[in-house]
Amino acid sequence: MKWSETTSPAERRRLLASLVVLGIVLLYPLRSHAYAGPGAGFAVLSSFWTLFVAFLYSVYAFFAWPFRQLFRLLRRRKAYGKAQIKRAIILGFDGMDPELTERFIAEGKLPNLAKLRERGTFRRLQTTFPPISPVAWSTFMTGVNPGKHNIYDFLARDLSNYLPYLSSAEIKGPKRSWKIGKYTIPLGGPRIKGMRRGIPFWHWLGEAGIFCSVIRVPVTFPPEKFSGVLLSGMCVPDLKGSQGTFCLCTTRLRDDKFREGGVRVPIERNGSSCSSYVPGAENPLQGGSGDELRVNFEIHPDKGNQARFTVDSHSFTLKVGDYSEWIPVKFSAGMGFSAHGICRFYLKEVSPEVEVYVTPVNIDPSKPDLPISHPVTYSIYLAKLFGPYATLGLAEDTWALNEEVLDDQAFLAQCYANHDDRERMLFDALEKTQQGLCACVFDTTDRVQHMFWRYLDDDHPAARDVPRDQRPSVIQDLYSRMDELIGRVMKQIDDKTLLMVVSDHGFKSFARCVNLNAWLHQNGYLALKVGKTESGDWFDDVDWSRTRAYTMGLNGLYLNLKGREREGIVEPGANAEALKDELRFKLDGLVDPASGRAGITGVFDCDSVYAGPYVDNAPDLIVGYGDGFRASWDSVMGKVTSQIFEDNLKAWSGDHCIDPRLVPGVLFCNRKISDEKPAIVDVAPTVLKLFGLALPGYLDGKPWTVAPPTAP
Amino acid sequence: MGSLGVNLPAAIVVGISLVIGLVMVVVFRYTSDQKAIHVAKDRLKAHLLALRLFQDQIPVVLRSYGRIVLATGRYLRLAFKPLLFVIVPLTFLIVQLDRYLGSMPVEVGHPFLVKVRMDNPDALNEASLQLPDGLSTTAPAVHVPSESEVAWRVVPEKPGEYVVNVQASDQTFSKRVVVGAGLQRLSRVRLRGKFWERIFVSSEPALPASSLIESIDVQYPARNVALAGFEWNWIWLFFVLSLAAGFLFKSILGIEI
């Protein structure tokens, strides 16, 4: 106890007096003192219970341990028998760019990465077609090309209606329900189906008795069973079932909606206080009536720039520009049905108007309504150990910054709060995994580069009004921070530990938008209904009977193929091949008239870049945008506009969904790797080989030649 | 049983337990560091979960055991801080309750002992007992020199509240004796000096400091409270019921204990 620092003289006197009285009471024991009320009873009983459970578990573990070992032997699981390493640590920095990394190393800002490069390896890591995180990380974990793991983008299209759906997981309501009047009682939990195919390499390690801790690797939702612990990452939904829907509660009356990722909720003034609500999922008892669940909260603006919030039984005070901690919210549907979430409140303004930003409602990791970890108790364990944490796949609210609901500082504060949580999880996993695999992916690198590239780019349309000398060095600070993290990890490793730092892709500026649907329209491949010059989102007003090709998502271009698409008109076979060739020929090198630069630098036929049982689900062509370009916001959402090229004015100003050859990732390793052109698909076989396991025959990746450790 | 067929001692214990359970959780709420307790309990649970999650990692399991012990200590430290606030009033409350519920008055016809402890064994011969009508001795006084104590066996003949006098040398001191049934405030002993002990066990004025007598003790029979088919010492019943009430109210009021 830091007596002198934390205790005032008055407190000391009070404590001393209390101790004297307690002493007197205890020194005169008699029967009635044996029990001093519920206070002592609670403490003693709870503590005893904990120790009792621990003891019981010890007895169980003691007697079960030989049987577990025997079981392993019987299954010939002699772990580490042929292993060249005792432990593999893989730090995934989503989107860490090799060019920037080299630049910052040269400037002496990344000493730990420089050390890794000097003593071990630094290479550019070939990414996937297309270079999108869910695709690349799926390849990372399975060691196969997308044709075998079935992930080609965040979105896939429904062939029956040309509408998008999330490519990684499908969440449906319960199989059976019971209708009573206006209520629909769900009989069972939601049905969650993972759409990613292929087997992650940690499954094989677990089979061999090698323990694995896997934290926030993308496309691991729903979590699959294996011998280890896993916390799901990118693609975990929020409590609404979306990939992140923030909420702006405001007294400003506006009818317009956010283009992406958010809803506007009114704040009602009631005298000196205000009330509003956090919207949740649709009420499952109302059977698709659209009624949403809500959690009400009150705001009591105080003097000065602060306000007191009351959310359920939680009260807290925020100053303008402050985030709350994670606040648990319970959405009650009635009849005992409820959903548990957590969210953070950010006070934007208290006067003259009141505005509060609420993060998307994350699944509460301590009471997960959907499985977000394997085993289920792992997310609970982390929540108990470190407190609530973001569980949403895309936890950093890029949409809110894009929509100017958050400013740069508020967004960064959110990013780094999540990042700090992730660091704590990583170091706990490192402590718990002294042997085996510890893989952890950090998303901060990706999100921050997406949103702050505009300050790196000399002439980015989204930052033209910010003088160069006033631009914050956000990305440089980000890289320094990651380097510092790597340094702390390096202090924990020995020469039997393999340390790999990998990224799934690099980054480039996203200054110009390309609406490929507009190009297809203007060049006669996509037709609108008569009288229309533009379409709505998701091909509203597209005349499919005259449309030969369309695009949605980030890099995929699809033929409207007869027999495949609902209203397909392109004959499969030679016609389709000819159309693909024609499109490739015309699109490759497509020039932006404003800059004279190539907006597209490569168009790739899926038949040449993919192989496997799920190739039929792939886009027909993968479009590789040039440096500085990307699919336009409208094009991604299946909208046809009149402009093909336009400036990107959003904060989302850097991107990687371009020509994969332009955005390789990074590979750092503490050992020498002789291969000159390593690819992300090689990581899985390399780790399996280093642990002495036979490689499954279906893998596309090739293990690297990794040298033994060099003397320090 | 009371006049309305109510088991009065049990009803009192149940009622007081509920009230104390409620008061205690409220006091606990405002005198404890709720956040720190929440964190301490969560850590404890985390280390328990770690035993299961990392069961094949022996070093992790051993570390978790150590952390469980440390976290338990921290939780106990946090939970005992509120105890400092309640222990004094609660102790005095229990002492007062014990005077009603701990013992029963002597029943008519049932002999009981009156014990007098003197300063020294030599004074034992000087002590004599003077009984009012309704009480009588059934045997000569028994002297226990090793304890400096003399004891009389007394039989009550009719119910009532009596005062017995003990004479030693030229001093006479009285002691209250209650004969009958029902709930009555009983004082087992009258003491000389011993301020704190007197607070806890006696409700009668102190014997003078110059007295040869240290204490006058009346042996009342212990009371058992009948509830749910069992005979309980009231303290145990209070323990169980107040704890149950506390857990109930803490859930209702959302208090971390």
> pLDDT class for B113, splitting at 50, 70, 90?
very high
- The pairing of strands A327-334 and A337-343 is antiparallel
Q: Residue B2 above 80 pLDDT?
A: no
Q: Which two three-digit tokens encode residue B184?
A: 């009555």
CA-based Rg of chain A, rounded to a whole angstrom? 28
B201 at interface of A, judged by CB pairs closer than 8 A? yes
> pLDDT class for A402, splitting at 50, 70, 90?
very high
Ranking A476-480, A612-616, B57-61, B121-125 by mean pLDDT, the lowest is B121-125
CA atoms within 13 A on the CB side of A159: 14
Q: Residue A33 above 60 pLDDT?
A: no
pLDDT at B95: 86
Distance CA A578, CA A582 (A): 6
Q: Do A19 and B84 touch (CB under 8 A)?
A: yes
Q: Is the torsion defined by CA of B87, B90, B96, B98 positive or negative?
A: negative
CB atoms within 10 A of CB A136: 33
Q: Averaged over A208-237, what is the pLDDT?
A: 95
C-alpha to C-alpha distances, B127 to A623, B114, B162, B165, B210, nearest whole angstrom: 114, 12, 19, 10, 15
CB-count burial class (<10 Å; 0-12, 13-18, 19+) for B204: middle
Q: Give B 136-175 residues with CB within 8 A of chain A.
A: none
Distance CA A137, CA A132 (A): 8
Q: Residue B148 above 70 pLDDT?
A: yes
pLDDT at A612: 96
pLDDT at A605: 97
pLDDT at A16: 64
B83 at interface of A, judged by CB pairs closer than 8 A? yes
**Which range is most confident: A543-557, B100-114, B184-198?**
A543-557
Backbone angles phi, psi at A341, to 5 degrees: -135, 175
CATH class belonging to B112-218: mainly beta
Instruction: Classify residue A111: in a domain, yes or no.
Output: no
Backbone angles phi, psi at A202, to 5 degrees: -70, -20
Q: Residue B226 above 60 pLDDT?
A: yes
Instruction: Classify residue A278: in a domain, yes or no.
Output: yes
CB atoms within 10 A of CB A255: 5
Ranking A136-145, B24-33, B80-89 by mean pLDDT, the lowest is B80-89
Distance CA B196, CA A559 (A): 95
Distance CA A606, CA A589 (A): 18
C-alpha of A482 from chain center:
17
Mean pLDDT for all residues in chain B:
87
Q: Nearest-CA neighbor of A680 among A85, A228, A104, A94?
A: A94
* AA letter at A445: T
Distance CA A485, CA A286 (A): 48
Find the farthest-apart pair of alpha carbons in chain B and give their distance in angstroms, rounded: 81
Chain B environment of A311 (Cβ under 8 Å): none
Chain A environment of B53 (Cβ under 8 Å): 229, 375, 377-378, 381, 432
C-alpha to C-alpha distances, A285 to A50, A188, A241, A294, A364, nearest whole angstrom: 38, 13, 16, 14, 21
Determine the structural domain holding residue A361 and report its residue range: 238-369
- By C-alpha distance, the chain A residue nearest B38 is A384
C-alpha to C-alpha distances, A250 to A358, A398, A454, nearest whole angstrom: 11, 20, 29
The proportion of chain B whose per-residue pLDDT surpasses 90, expressed as a percent, equals 32
Q: Residue A542 above 80 pLDDT?
A: yes
Q: Nearest-CA neighbor of A340 among A370, A319, A381, A304?
A: A370
> pLDDT class for B211, splitting at 50, 70, 90?
confident
Q: A99: part of which helix (H) or strand (E)? A: helix A98-106
Four-CA torsion A615, A621, A624, A625, nearest 10 degrees: -140
User: Do A388 and A379 form a contact (C-beta atoms < 8 A)?
Assistant: no
pLDDT at A289: 67
CA-based Rg of chain B, rounded to a whole angstrom? 25
User: Do A94 and A504 form a contact (C-beta atoms < 8 A)?
Assistant: yes
- By C-alpha distance, the chain B residue nearest A314 is B254
Angle between helices B58-101 and B34-53 (to 10 degrees): 130
Looking at the complex, report in whole angstroms how far the Cα of residue B224 sits from the nearest Cα belonging to chain A.
14
Three-class secondary structure of residue A240 per DSSP: coil
Chain B environment of A32 (Cβ under 8 Å): 91, 94-95, 98, 102, 200, 235
Q: A41: part of which helix (H) or strand (E)? A: helix A38-74
Distance CA A679, CA A677 (A): 6
Distance CA A688, CA A707 (A): 15
Distance CA A656, CA A628 (A): 10
B30 at interface of A, judged by CB pairs closer than 8 A? no
Ranking A169-173, A246-250, A463-467, A660-664 by mean pLDDT, the lowest is A169-173
A226 at interface of B, judged by CB pairs closer than 8 A? no
Chain A environment of B28 (Cβ under 8 Å): 38-39, 42
CATH 2.60.40: which residues of chain B?
Answer: 112-218
Q: A123: part of which helix (H) or strand (E)? A: strand A121-125
CB atoms within 10 A of CB A12: 12
Q: Which of A26, A63, A326, A385 to mutate to test the interface with B (most CBs of B within 10 A)?
A: A385
Buried b (16+ CB within 10 A) or exposed e, A105-116: beeebbebbbbb
**pLDDT tens digits for A614-672?**
999 999 999 999 999 999 999 999 999 999 999 999 999 999 999 999 999 999 999 99
pLDDT at A64: 77
Domain count, chain A: 3
> pLDDT class for A283, splitting at 50, 70, 90?
confident
Instruction: Classify residue A199: in a domain, yes or no.
Output: no
- pTM confidence score: 0.85
pLDDT at A407: 97
Q: Do B235 and A32 touch (CB under 8 A)?
A: yes
pLDDT at A3: 42
Distance CA A49, CA A56 (A): 10
Q: Which two three-digit tokens encode residue A249?
A: 């509660």
Three-class secondary structure of residue A357 per DSSP: strand
Chain B environment of A6 (Cβ under 8 Å): none
User: Do A451 and A416 form a contact (C-beta atoms < 8 A)?
Assistant: no
Q: Averaged over A707-711, what is the pLDDT?
A: 79
Q: Averaged over A23-41, what is the pLDDT?
A: 48
Buried b (16+ CB within 10 A) or exposed e, A660-688: bebbbbbbbbbbebebeebbbbbbbbbbb
Q: A74: part of which helix (H) or strand (E)? A: helix A38-74
- By C-alpha distance, the chain A residue nearest B93 is A32
Q: Is the torsion defined by CA of A117, A123, A128, A131 positive or negative?
A: positive
Q: Do A57 and B52 touch (CB under 8 A)?
A: yes
Q: Give A 334-393 residues with CB within 8 A of chain B.
A: 375, 377-378, 380-385, 387
Instruction: Classify residue A458: in a domain, yes or no.
Output: no
Q: Which two three-digit tokens encode residue A690?
A: 């280093």
> pLDDT class for A557, splitting at 50, 70, 90?
very high
Q: Residue A35 above 70 pLDDT?
A: no
Q: Averaged over A132-156, what is the pLDDT?
A: 97
Q: Rounded to 5 degrees, what angle do the CA atoms A480, A101, A589 make?
A: 140
Nearest to B235 among A35, A51, A211 (CB): A35
Q: Do B75 and A43 touch (CB under 8 A)?
A: yes
User: Do A295 and A277 form a contact (C-beta atoms < 8 A)?
Assistant: yes
pLDDT at B139: 87
* AA letter at A671: R
Q: Do A39 and B54 touch (CB under 8 A)?
A: no
Complex confidence, ipTM: 0.87
pLDDT at B3: 46
- The pairing of strands A345-349 and A355-358 is antiparallel
pLDDT at A15: 58
Looking at the complex, report in whole angstroms how far the Cα of residue A317 sits from the nearest Cα belonging to chain B.
16
> pLDDT class for A241, splitting at 50, 70, 90?
confident
Q: Residue A695 above 90 pLDDT?
A: yes
Looking at the complex, report in whole angstroms how far the Cα of residue A219 sits from the nearest Cα belonging to chain B.
22
- The pairing of strands A497-502 and A87-93 is parallel
Single out the residue in A24, A52, A74 at which a domain terminates: A74
> pLDDT class for A42, splitting at 50, 70, 90?
low
Instruction: Classify residue A496: in a domain, yes or no.
Output: no
pLDDT at A4: 42
Chain A environment of B30 (Cβ under 8 Å): none
A335 versus B153: which is more confidently predicted? B153
**pLDDT tens digits for A562-575?**
999 999 999 999 99
Mean pLDDT for all residues in chain A:
90
> pLDDT class for A30, splitting at 50, 70, 90?
very low
Ranking A60-74, A115-129, A163-177, A493-507 by mean pLDDT, the lowest is A60-74
Distance CA A411, CA A571 (A): 49
Q: Averaged over A29-33, what is the pLDDT?
A: 44
SS3 of chain B: the string is CCCCCCCHHHHHHHHHHHHHHHHHHHHHHHHCCHHHHHHHHHHHHHHHHHHHHCCCCHHHHHHHHHHHHHHHHHHHHHHHHHHHHHHHHHHHHHHHHHHHHCECCECCCCCEEEEEEECCHHHHHHEEEECCCCEEECCCCEEEHHHCEEEEEEEECCCEEEEEEEEECCEEEEEEEEECCCCCCCCCEEEECCHHHHHHHCCCCCECCCCCEEEEEECCCECCEEECCEEECHHHHHHHHHHHHHHHHHHHHCCCC
